[in-house]
């Protein structure tokens, strides 16, 4: 696995919908991409961090700075035995897992292309298609919520996730559950509550939710465990899990019964697979989350989801939901709630260089 050169591109894409969560409203996406060149091939990855540190602590500006000055100088001009060896070369650094993940994920794509093997197969996955659900932002009222859910249920999505926040929780959940008694339904609070809200959250027990995602603080495990003792509905952690060690601690404490794995959040595919394995050893199912990625990140997510303990539908819904035109050439479209895994080596998808040049804000090349 030879790394000859790298490109960092930042693209800006308008979202096709207004995405409201407990931390605000999003209408466009700034997408950092990393391309690694080696042996005449390219591997590509997408950064999942946002301009502001709202989800976790990482930011686009911070990641770009670390890539240029710290992470890429460690790998450029070097040859690694495999992607795990490259991951280890960045292993002395603390945190900043989304930024490190960009290097690691691009290396996996490059390695897959080098070997002529699909990424999912390299990771040990066997599925040729994965079940997907959809994450729906906060809507202006109950009627709009039920209507949006209806549209996505009709499209065949296998699970509906509603974003909630204090003051907008039981109301939309009750309305949706009454309209759709049998759908697989979940909620995601993105850390908007505290233990003082436990009785409010307990009211959600009445609606047969598959789990409640990340109700409490982004860096907490102990309060989630206490909340878990007060609720019947299983808890799922997203923000709180950055490593396999976090997953082990969270599952051991009873802070979660389900884990949302985001490749980027945990530092790449190797750590994502370790989180997957830890969860399996606890008998806990995992599912693959998303960060409103372009097709580049989405393809990585889909390949990871081919591992066996991804037993609940992921958030990797159709690319056409998010963008009028994607940054890759291949369509990534779910049919009846099922997303085909792109065939071909590595991620199996290719950058649309023409469109990327149009929407790129910055483009730089780095050499050893
Ligand atoms: O908490 O899962 C989340 C999007 C951006 C940041 C955080 C989250 C999300 C989503 C959307 O829920 C998932 C997607 O459709 O990619
Ligand atoms: Mg989440």
Same-domain check for residues 274 and 312: yes
SS3 170: helix
Are residues 185 and 44 located together in one domain of the fold? Answer: no
Calculate how far, in angstroms, residue 212's C-alpha sits from the geometric centre of ligand 2: 10
HEC sequence for 51-76: CCCCCCCCEHHHHHHHHHHHHHHHHC
Same domain (yes/no): 70, 219: no
Q: Are residues 111 and 139 in the same domain?
A: no
Residue 224 sits in the same domain as residue 271? yes
Residue 104, pLDDT > 90, answer yes
d(Cα 310, Cα 314) in Å, to the nearest integer? 8
Q: Are residues 270 and 207 in the same domain?
A: yes
345 occurs within a structural domain = no
HEC string for 243-265: CHHHHHHHHHHCCCCEEEECCCC
| Ligand in closest contact with the CA of 214 | 2
Residue 78 confidence class, pLDDT cut points 50, 70, 90: very high
Determine the pLDDT at residue 304: 98
Residue 346 lies in a domain: no
**What are the residues whose beta carbons fall under 8 Å from the beta carbon of 94, sequence distance 6 or more?**
none
Nearest to 264 by CA among 108, 137, 133: 108
Residues 262 and 289 sit within 8 Å (Cβ to Cβ)? yes
Asked whether residue 180 falls in the same domain as residue 319, the answer is: yes
Substitution candidate for ligand 1 out of 289, 312, 313, 321 with most atoms within 8 A of CB = 289
- For the chain, where are the E strands, in sequence order? 5-21, 24-38, 41-46, 129-131, 134-136, 160-163, 185-188, 212-213, 235-237, 258-261, 286-288, 338-340, 360-366
Question: 18 is in which domain, residue-wise?
Answer: 5-116+352-366
**Any ligand 1 atom below 6 A from CB of 238:** yes
Q: Name the residue with the closest Cα to ligand 1, atom 1.
A: 190
Distance CA 165, CA 244 (A): 28
pLDDT at 325: 97
**How far, in Å, is the centroid of ligand 2 from the Cα of 226?**
20
Q: What is the mean pLDDT of residues 166-178?
A: 97
Region for residue 238 given its phi and psi (left: phi exceeds 0; alpha: psi -120 to 50; beta: otherwise): alpha
Q: What separation in Å is there between the alpha carbon of 191 and the centre of ligand 2? A: 9
Region 285-296 average pLDDT: 98
Both 198 and 309 in a single domain?
yes
Q: For residue 193, what pLDDT is reported?
A: 98
Write out pLDDT tens, residues 342-366. Answer: 999 999 999 999 999 999 999 999 9
Atom 12 (ligand 1): residue with closest C-alpha? 135
Q: Is the pLDDT of residue 98 over 90?
A: yes
Residue 60 lies in a domain: yes
Query: Which two tokens mark 247?
Result: 């997953």
DSSP state letter for 165: B
Is there a single domain that holds both residue 151 and residue 62?
no
Residues belonging to the active site = 163, 262
pLDDT at residue 101 tops 90 = yes
Considering the domain boundaries, does residue 97 fall inside one?
yes
- What is the 224 CA–ligand 2 centroid distance (Å)? 15
**Residue 281: predicted pLDDT:** 98
Q: What CATH number has the domain bearing residue 11?
A: 3.30.390.10
Please give the distance, rounded to the nearest whole angstrom, from the Cα atom of residue 306 to the centre of ligand 1.
20
The answer, yes or no, to whether any atom of ligand 1 lies below 6 A from the CB of 220, is: no
Residues 102 and 164 in one domain: no
Of all protein residues, the one whose alpha carbon is nearest to atom 7 of ligand 1 is 291
Which pLDDT value is given to residue 23? 87
How far apart CA 36 and CA 101 sit, in angstroms, is 13
Work out the average pLDDT over 314-343. Answer: 97
- The finding on whether 135 has its CB within 6 A of some atom of ligand 1 is yes
Q: Does the beta carbon of 291 sit less than 6 angstroms from any atom of ligand 1?
A: yes
Q: Which bound ligand lies closest to the C-alpha atom of 290? A: 1
**Residue 92 in tokens:** 């002395």
Residue at 87 is within a domain: yes
Same structural domain for residues 243 and 272? yes
Picking from 108, 96, 20, the residue whose alpha carbon sits closest to that of residue 63 is: 96
Phi, psi torsion values for 198, nearest 5 degrees: -55, -40
Mean pLDDT of 3-25: 95
Q: What is the CATH number of the domain that holds 226?
A: 3.20.20.120
Taking the CA of residue 298 as reference, the ligand 1 atom at the shortest distance is 16
């Amino acid at each position: 696995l030879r790394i000859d050169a790298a490109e960092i591109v930042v693209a800006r894409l308008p979202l096709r919908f207004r995405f409201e969560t407990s931390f605000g409203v999003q209408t466009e996406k700034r997408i950092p991409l990393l391309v690694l060149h080696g042996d005449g091939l390219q591997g590509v990855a997408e950064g999942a961090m946002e301009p502001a540190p709202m989800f976790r602590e990482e930011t686009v500006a911070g990641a770009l700075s670390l890539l240029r000055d710290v992470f890429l100088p460690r790998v450029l001009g070097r040859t690694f035995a495999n992607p795990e060896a490259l991951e280890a070369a960045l292993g002395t650094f603390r945190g900043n897992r989304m930024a490190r993940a960009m290097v690691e994920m691009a290396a996996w794509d490059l390695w897959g292309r080098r070997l002529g093997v699909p990424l999912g197969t390299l990771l040990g996955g066997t599925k040729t298609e994965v079940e997907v659900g959809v994450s729906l932002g906060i809507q202006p009222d109950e009627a709009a919520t039920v209507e949006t859910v209806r549209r996505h249920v009709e499209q065949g999505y296998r699970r509906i996730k509603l974003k909630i926040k204090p003051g907008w929780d039981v109301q939309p959940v009750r309305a949706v559950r009454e309209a759709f008694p049998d759908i697989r339904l979940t909620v995601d609070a993105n850390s908007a509550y505290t233990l003082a809200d436990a009785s409010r959250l307990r009211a959600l027990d009445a609606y047969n939710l598959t789990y409640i995602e990340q109700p409490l603080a982004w860096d907490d495990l102990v309060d989630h465990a206490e909340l878990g003792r007060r609720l019947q509905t299983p808890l799922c952690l997203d923000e709180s899990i950055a490593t396999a060690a976090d997953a082990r601690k969270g599952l051991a404490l009873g802070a979660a019964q389900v884990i949302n794995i985001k490749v980027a959040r945990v530092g790449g595919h190797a750590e994502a697979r370790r989180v997957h394995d830890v969860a399996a050893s606890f008998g806990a199912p995992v599912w693959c989350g998303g960060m409103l990625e372009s097709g580049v990140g989405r393809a990585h997510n889909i390949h990871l989801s081919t591992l066996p303990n991804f037993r609940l539908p992921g958030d990797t819904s159709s690319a056409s939901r998010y963008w009028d035109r994607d940054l890759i050439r291949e369509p990534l479209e779910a049919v009846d709630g099922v997303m085909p895994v792109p065939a071909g080596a590595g991620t199996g998808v290719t950058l649309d260089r023409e469109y990327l040049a149009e929407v790129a804000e910055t483009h730089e090349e780095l050499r050893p």
